[in-house]
């Protein structure tokens, strides 16, 4: 009798465990993208542990900004932890590496990377991949728009000598050309360079009206400091990759007056009350700052939060069709995420479709400038 | 390209070259005395700069804990040996130097916020926190393997490098830091602006190099190091303990590294992992000197700095490619001109 009872109890426990929803997470919490990966990791800890009445387990692994490690992580999470959905990774190369494994196992993958190639062009593989960060094109359009409004004609570019800088240059040059802006110089530097004097001198020799710095995080402060030091007087633009407080700390007074596009979350408190993103963005900012202190929030954590927002919306729908842990559930979850409509998140409003797995529109970006060492919304 | 650009690039190249030269000298020193290719050299640059930056930000730098942990390890390792050999008289100095002083430093940092101290005092504190790591690392990692082959020592170096980078991320975070400049002075040279900080770097590097020259030529410890570098067995027979030589040269290497870091922290942003690339460029300089000649290594390092600066103007995307490809013709030339002598196994 006792034996039977134990078995019965065990059986209930194991079915309960099976019914839990397992979310695998791979972020770049160490390595070159650590400043993006750490707030993402912190944000995952703030996501709800119950969705649609089901317990949700988040299993977080670090991929050290290394695509090989990212692949290993997703294989382990799918193989051993039987995850229903994957969130990750922080960077574009890592997300692309994880994509193949996710597709082979028919597991939805929500990436937090910037580049549009993660979800475009739509094909059989990318059916399974979604992305919460704004495409570079969203941001580049905003910059070019602002430049033409300011009457800029000649523009120069200096960016990272890696996928980030190249990706930005391609997007920016394409849109700039369409809007009749002339790109007069294009230079590259390494994110851990100690000096960019050579590049800056060459850029300045081309006499551009505006310069776009295609860098992310604190390394993007170096060219702007060098430009100020060498007496450059034109406009300076940064990308949304610099939108964290460390950039302001390192850049100090030399980065004052720079223009950049950001997700509305960065200036959530300054948004007008009728902005549709304000409420959902403030919710995240409040939660994060309650856990990590005032002023600690950065735009990168917002992308992880938005992955959570997508799941909270899609999981209840998928639960109606199938049980977690099954192939059918993963398929239902993918379909549910793809049919997300008018969902406010920290960075914008998601409107997914079969062809658009990013889902943001122009409401997902605002132009800001740096004033008194803080981000100021340009109205 | 006009004269002004030429001058600005040259100025930039010489500033960076001066730092690479210091690191190249440290690498040559460590290699000749201990046969260790000291890959973590660059980490001391980052640790020095970031320790100073965290002091200025009013934080207790994580280096204190590393110092304390390594100090305790050294004390335990050496303590066991001393007790076994019954040399109890040596125990108190061992404990004071390896545990007492780091503890005192930690207590001092907690008791008094270093933000109010003058810049010079902050620099001294940072040096005191970082430099002892050198000899401690020698005691823990290299001393037990002192007789091993160059390859084994190199593998140990890689391990220390990876460990120090990881700890650096833990201590200082993923984002970089800058420190305020030591001087705001600015001059004009042939129409090109010249920052006071740049001159300071070059002057400080040059005087450190001259100081090292006198250390090796005039002091008994310097001579002991040179003797060990020339012939390890011979030096030992003359009563120069190899352990002393090893610890001394890692102290020097750590001091040079930390000092370089403090010098460049106001010019550029330093990250927990910036040191490696800076150290690697110093290494290219050291290779030009065949890991043996100090003056050639220093000149080679300045050449690396200049090459880097001019190539960043002409072909910025290929800058690192150009700098590191320099090794190939240098190695080719060295292997054709110098007679190869097999390293004697000890």
- The whole-angstrom separation of Cα A9 and Cα B11 is 77
Residue A185 has pLDDT above 80, yes or no: yes
Residue A373 has pLDDT above 70, yes or no: yes
| Cβ distance of A195 and B269 shorter than 8 Å | no
> Following DSSP, what letter does each residue of A197-256 receive, concatenated?
HHHHHHHHHT--SEEEEE--SGGGHHHHHHHHHTT--SEEEE-GGG-SHHHHHHHGGGGT
Residue A6 has pLDDT above 70, yes or no: no
Nearest to residue A188, comparing CAs of B281, B174, B314, B278? B314
Mutate to test the interface with B, among A35, A160, A196, A198 (most CBs of B within 10 A): A198
Write the pLDDT tens digit of every residue in A50-71. Answer: 998 889 999 999 998 899 999 9
Q: Which residue of B has its CA nearest to A39?
A: B174
Other C-beta atoms lying within 10 Å of the C-beta of residue A125:
13
> Residue A219 has what pLDDT?
86
| Cβ distance of A192 and B310 shorter than 8 Å | no
- The whole-angstrom separation of Cα A108 and Cα A111 is 10
Q: Which residue of A has its CA nearest to B9?
A: A198
Give the pLDDT mean for A168-184: 91
Does residue B96 lie in a domain region?
A: no
Does residue B149 lie in a domain region?
A: yes
| Nearest by CB: B313 against A190, A198, A219 | A198
Nearest to residue A236, comparing CAs of A217, A252, A255, A250? A255
* Phi, psi torsion values for A265, nearest 5 degrees: -55, -35
> Following DSSP, what letter does each residue of A137-200 receive, concatenated?
HHHHHHHHHHHHHTT--EEEEEEESSHHHHHHHHHHHHHHHHTT-EEEEEEEE-TT-S--HHHH
Mutate to test the interface with B, among A194, A200, A214 (most CBs of B within 10 A): A194
Distances (CA, A) of B254 to A121, B43, B274: 52, 9, 16
Q: Which residue of A has its CA nearest to B193?
A: A230
Does residue B324 lie in a domain region?
A: yes
- Location of structure tokens 């590097």: B205
Do A372 and A271 contact (CB within 8 A), yes or no? no
CA dihedral B82, B86, B88, B91 (to 10 degrees): 0
- Long-range contacts at B317-321 (CB < 8 A, ≥ 24 apart): B317/A161, B317/A187, B317/A188, B319/A161, B319/A189, B319/A190, B319/A193, B319/A198, B320/A190
| Cβ distance of B313 and A218 shorter than 8 Å | no
Structure tokens at A271: 């948004």
Q: Which residue of A has its CA nearest to B312?
A: A198
A70 to chain B, closest Cα gap in Å: 18
| Nearest by CB: A190 against B169, B313, B320 | B320
Give the pLDDT mean for A274-283: 91
| Cβ distance of B9 and A197 shorter than 8 Å | yes
The β-bridge relationship of strands A349-350 and A343-344 is antiparallel
| Nearest by CB: A201 against B176, B269, B313 | B313
- The whole-angstrom separation of Cα A73 and Cα A62 is 8
| Nearest by CB: A194 against B16, B174, B314 | B16
B236 to chain A, closest Cα gap in Å: 42
Does residue B79 lie in a domain region?
A: no
State the DSSP code for A261: E
| Cβ distance of B267 and A229 shorter than 8 Å | no
- The whole-angstrom separation of Cα B189 and Cα B14 is 15
Structure tokens at B125: 């504190």
> Residue B190 has what pLDDT?
63
What pTM value is reported for the model? 0.78
Does residue B63 lie in a domain region?
A: no
- The whole domain housing B51 covers 3-58+113-337
Nearest to residue A300, comparing CAs of A346, A338, A333? A346
SS3 state of residue A260: strand
| Nearest by CB: B16 against A195, A218, A229 | A195
CA dihedral B280, B285, B291, B293 (to 10 degrees): -150
Nearest to residue B205, comparing CAs of B282, B122, B307? B282
Q: How sure is the predictor about A11, in pLDDT bands with cuts at 50, 70 and 90?
A: very low
Chain B positions in Cβ-Cβ contact with residue A231 (cut-off 8 Å) = 193
Does residue B235 lie in a domain region?
A: yes
Cα dihedral B341, B149, B249, A192 sign: positive
State the DSSP code for B326: T
Does residue B249 lie in a domain region?
A: yes
Chain B positions in Cβ-Cβ contact with residue A197 (cut-off 8 Å) = 8-9, 12, 309, 312
| Nearest by CB: A38 against B174, B268, B274 | B174
| Cβ distance of A198 and B310 shorter than 8 Å | yes
Instruction: Answer with the residue of higher pLDDT: B181 or A185.
Output: A185
Give the pLDDT mean for A227-235: 89
Q: Which residue of B has its CA nearest to A33?
A: B174
| Cβ distance of B320 and A246 shorter than 8 Å | no
Helix (H) or strand (E) holding A338: helix A327-338
SS3 state of residue A132: coil
Chain B positions in Cβ-Cβ contact with residue A249 (cut-off 8 Å) = 175, 177
Write the pLDDT tens digit of every residue in A195-207. Answer: 888 899 899 989 9
Burial class (CB in 10 A: 0-12, 13-18, 19+), B109: middle
Do A361 and A317 contact (CB within 8 A), yes or no? no
Give the pLDDT mean for A336-349: 94
Beta bridge partners of A280: none
Count CA atoms within 13 Å of residue A190 on its CB side: 17
Q: How sure is the predictor about A3, in pLDDT bands with cuts at 50, 70 and 90?
A: low
What are B's interface residues with A at a Cβ cutoff of 8 A? 5, 8-9, 12, 15-16, 166, 169, 173-178, 193, 195, 264, 267-269, 271, 273-274, 277-278, 308-314, 316-317, 319-320
- Pairs across A and B, CB distance < 8 A: 101
Chain B positions in Cβ-Cβ contact with residue A189 (cut-off 8 Å) = 312, 316, 319
| Nearest by CB: A217 against B175, B267, B317 | B175
Nearest to residue B36, comparing CAs of B238, B210, B216, B246? B246
Chain B positions in Cβ-Cβ contact with residue A196 (cut-off 8 Å) = 312
A41 to chain B, closest Cα gap in Å: 13
Please provide the size of chain B in residues: 346
Beta bridge partners of A350: A343
Helix (H) or strand (E) holding B81: helix B63-85
| Cβ distance of B274 and A192 shorter than 8 Å | yes
Do B215 and B222 contact (CB within 8 A), yes or no? yes
> Following DSSP, what letter does each residue of A33-93 receive, concatenated?
THHHHHHHHHHHTTS-SEETTEEEEEEEEE-TT-HHHHHHHHHHHHHTS--SEEEE-SSHH
SS3 state of residue A294: coil
Do A347 and A364 contact (CB within 8 A), yes or no? yes
Distances (CA, A) of A150 to A146, A174, A175, A261: 6, 19, 16, 15
Do B246 and B146 contact (CB within 8 A), yes or no? yes
Does residue B205 lie in a domain region?
A: yes
- The whole-angstrom separation of Cα A329 and Cα B118 is 63
B130 to chain A, closest Cα gap in Å: 21
Burial class (CB in 10 A: 0-12, 13-18, 19+), B239: exposed
| Nearest by CB: A201 against B9, B15, B176 | B9
Structure tokens at A128: 């399974």
Structure tokens at A186: 């294009």
- Angle between helix A67-79 and helix A92-104 axes, rounded to 10 deg: 30
CB proximity list for A48: less than 8 A, separation 6 or greater: A56, A308, A312
Residue A2 has pLDDT above 80, yes or no: no
| Cβ distance of B319 and A190 shorter than 8 Å | yes
| Cβ distance of B269 and A250 shorter than 8 Å | yes
| Cβ distance of A221 and B312 shorter than 8 Å | no
> Residue A12 has what pLDDT?
47
Chain B positions in Cβ-Cβ contact with residue A199 (cut-off 8 Å) = 312-313, 316
Nearest to residue A83, comparing CAs of A18, A10, A14? A18
Render each residue's pLDDT in chain B as its tens digit; 346 residues: 577 888 888 888 999 999 999 999 999 999 999 989 999 999 999 999 999 999 888 888 889 999 999 999 999 999 898 889 888 888 888 888 888 888 888 888 888 777 778 888 889 989 999 999 999 999 999 999 888 899 999 999 999 999 999 999 889 887 788 888 887 777 776 666 777 888 889 999 999 989 988 998 899 999 999 898 888 888 889 888 888 899 999 999 999 999 999 999 988 889 888 899 999 999 999 998 888 888 899 999 999 999 999 998 888 888 888 988 988 888 888 888 776 555 544 4
- The whole-angstrom separation of Cα A369 and Cα A377 is 7
- The whole-angstrom separation of Cα B3 and Cα A320 is 74
Beta bridge partners of A377: A368
> Residue B346 has what pLDDT?
43
Chain A positions in Cβ-Cβ contact with residue B174 (cut-off 8 Å) = 30, 34-35, 37-38, 217
Q: How sure is the predictor about A84, in pLDDT bands with cuts at 50, 70 and 90?
A: very high
- The whole-angstrom separation of Cα B6 and Cα B333 is 29
CATH number, domain containing residue B44: 1.10.3470
Structure tokens at A37: 């990966």
∠ at Cα B345 (B344, B346), nearest 5°? Answer: 115
Mutate to test the interface with B, among A192, A199, A207, A244 (most CBs of B within 10 A): A192
Chain A positions in Cβ-Cβ contact with residue B308 (cut-off 8 Å) = 195
Beta bridge partners of A238: A213
Number of domains comprising chain B: 1
Count CA atoms within 13 Å of residue A347 on its CB side: 35
| Cβ distance of A205 and B5 shorter than 8 Å | yes
Chain B positions in Cβ-Cβ contact with residue A195 (cut-off 8 Å) = 12, 15-16, 267-268, 308-309, 312
Least confident of A210-219, A338-347, B158-167, B188-197: B188-197
Give the pLDDT mean for A82-99: 91
Residue A88 has pLDDT above 90, yes or no: no
């Amino acid at each position: 009798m006792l034996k039977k009872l134990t078995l019965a109890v065990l059986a209930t426990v194991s079915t309960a465990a099976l019914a839990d929803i397992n979310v695998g997470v791979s972020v770049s919490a160490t390595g070159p993208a650590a400043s993006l990966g750490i707030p993402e990791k912190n944000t995952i800890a703030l996501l709800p542990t119950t969705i649609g009445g089901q317990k949700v387990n988040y299993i977080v692994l670090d991929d050290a900004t290394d695509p090989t490690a990212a692949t290993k992580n997703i294989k382990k999470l799918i193989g051993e932890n039987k995850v229903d959905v994957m969130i990750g990774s922080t960077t574009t190369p890592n997300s692309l590496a994880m994509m193949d494994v996710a597709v082979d196992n028919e597991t939805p993958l929500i990436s937090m990377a910037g580049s549009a190639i993660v979800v475009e062009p739509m094909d059989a593989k990318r059916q399974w991949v979604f992305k919460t960060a704004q495409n570079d094109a969203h941001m580049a359009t905003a910059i070019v728009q602002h430049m033409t409004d300011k009457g800029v004609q000649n523009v120069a570019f200096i960016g990272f000598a890696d996928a980030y800088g190249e990706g930005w240059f391609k997007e920016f040059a394409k849109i700039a050309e369409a809007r009749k802006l002339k790109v007069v110089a294009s230079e590259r530097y390494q994110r851990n360079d100690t000096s960019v004097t050579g590049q800056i001198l060459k850029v300045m020799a081309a006499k551009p009206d505006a310069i776009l710095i295609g860098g992310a995080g604190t390394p993007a402060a170096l060219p702007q400091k060098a430009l100020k030091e060498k007496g450059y007087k034109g406009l300076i633009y940064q990308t949304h990759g610099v939108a964290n407080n460390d950039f302001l700390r390192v850049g100090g007074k030399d980065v004052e007056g720079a223009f950049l596009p950001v997700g509305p979350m960065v200036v959530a408190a300054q948004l007008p009350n009728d902005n549709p993103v304000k409420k959902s963005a403030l919710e995240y900012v409040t939660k994060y700052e309650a856990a990590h202190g005032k002023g600690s929030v950065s735009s990168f954590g917002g992308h992880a939060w938005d992955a959570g927002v997508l799941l909270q919306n899609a999981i209840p729908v998928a639960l109606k069709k199938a049980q977690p842990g099954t192939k059918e559930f993963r398929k239902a979850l993918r379909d549910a995420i793809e049919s997300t409509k008018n969902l406010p998140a920290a960075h914008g409003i998601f409107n997914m479709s079969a062809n658009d797995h990013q889902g943001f529109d122009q409401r997902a970006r605002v132009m800001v400038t740096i004033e008194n060492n803080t981000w100021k919304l340009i109205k | 390209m006009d004269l002004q650009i030429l001058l600005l690039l040259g100025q930039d190249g010489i500033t960076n070259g001066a730092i690479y030269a210091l690191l190249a000298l440290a690498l040559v020193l460590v290699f000749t005395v201990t046969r260790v290719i000291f890959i973590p050299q660059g980490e001391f640059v980052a640790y020095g700069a970031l320790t100073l930056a965290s002091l200025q930000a009013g934080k207790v730098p994580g280096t204190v804990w590393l110092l304390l942990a390594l100090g305790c390890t050294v004390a335990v390792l050496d303590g066991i040996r001393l007790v076994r050999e019954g040399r109890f008289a040596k125990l108190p100095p061992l404990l004071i130097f390896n545990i007492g002083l780091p503890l005192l430093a930690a207590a001092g940092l907690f008791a008094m916020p270093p933000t109010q101290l003058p810049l010079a005092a902050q620099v001294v504190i940072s040096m005191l926190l970082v430099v002892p790591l050198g000899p401690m690392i020698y005691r823990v990692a290299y001393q037990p393997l002192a007789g091993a082959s160059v390859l084994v020592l190199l593998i140990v170096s890689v391990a220390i490098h990876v460990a120090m980078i990881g700890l650096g991320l833990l201590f200082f975070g993923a984002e970089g830091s800058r420190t305020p400049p030591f001087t705001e002075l600015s001059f004009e040279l042939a129409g090109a602006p010249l920052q006071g900080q740049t001159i300071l770097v070059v002057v400080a590097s040059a005087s450190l190099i001259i100081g090292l020259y006198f250390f090796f030529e005039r002091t008994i410890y310097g001579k002991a190091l040179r003797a060990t570098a020339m012939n390890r067995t011979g030096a030992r027979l003359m009563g120069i303990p190899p352990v002393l030589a090893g610890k001394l040269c890692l102290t020097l290497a750590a001091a040079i590294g930390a000092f370089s870091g403090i010098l460049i922290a106001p010019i550029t942003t330093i990250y927990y992992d910036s040191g490696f690339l800076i150290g690697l460029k110093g290494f290219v300089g050291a290779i030009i000197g065949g890991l043996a000649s100090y003056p050639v290594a220093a000149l080679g390092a300045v050449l690396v700095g200049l090459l880097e600066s001019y190539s960043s103007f002409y072909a910025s995307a290929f800058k690192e490619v150009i700098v590191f490809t320099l090794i190939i013709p240098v190695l080719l030339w060295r292997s054709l001109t110098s007679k190869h002598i097999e390293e004697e196994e000890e």
